[in-house]
Amino acid sequence: MRREWPWGLVTGVTLAAATAAEPPPVPPAFTTDADRVEVLRSYPLGVLDRQAVFSHHGKAHRQVELPNGQQGWVYLVGQARTRATYEWPSGQAQTVTQTRAGAGVRAYTLIFDDGGTVIDVLYNESGRHDGLSALALQWGALKGGGGDSPR
């Protein structure tokens, strides 16, 4: 006996899923001119997956594993880069791009949960542990203004 697929049901479910799916919100761009607090306050947490982040921001400058085991993608903004040519002992020349330390670099680290969704964005300007968190700013705003201060 041949089994028939319920094509009407399959088509209905497919159309319902296609019409219900909204495009993900567009996150703010990481630029040197952008206000860091506004970028963090308006970043859509819990919505964007890795593919959406990659499509909007491009490839991360580096990936890190946080102490809690979660993955983070680091985007650097405002790097002062210089090109320098060095010569190997063999006489071969090599040109490299260098970034000066402390050259006004802003770092945005996107934190992903185990499912690959952005759950926080950390901002650092002068090394570790001196920055801001999108989750803290957004949570403070929900609670009535506790996240208004950048420090």
Question: What is the tens place of the pLDDT at every residue in 69-95?
Answer: 999 999 988 766 678 889 989 999 998
Q: What pLDDT digit, counting tens, does each position of 119-146 carry?
A: 999 998 866 656 789 999 988 777 665 5
Rounded Cα–Cα distance for residues 79 and 74 (Å)? 13
Residue with tokens 């703010």: 28
Distance, CA of 139 to CA of 115 (rounded, Å): 22
Tell me the backbone φ, ψ of residue 15, rounded to 5 degrees: -65, -40
CA–CA distance, 96 with 112 (Å, rounded to integer): 32
The overall pTM is greater than 0.85: no
Angle at 108 between CA 103 and CA 109, to 5 degrees: 125
Ordered by start, the domain boundaries in the chain are 25-142
Q: What is the distance between the alpha carbons of residues 8 and 27, in angstroms, rounded to a whole number?
A: 38
Give 96's strand partners: 84
Of 121, 104, 111, which is closest to residue 71 (Cα–Cα)?
Answer: 111
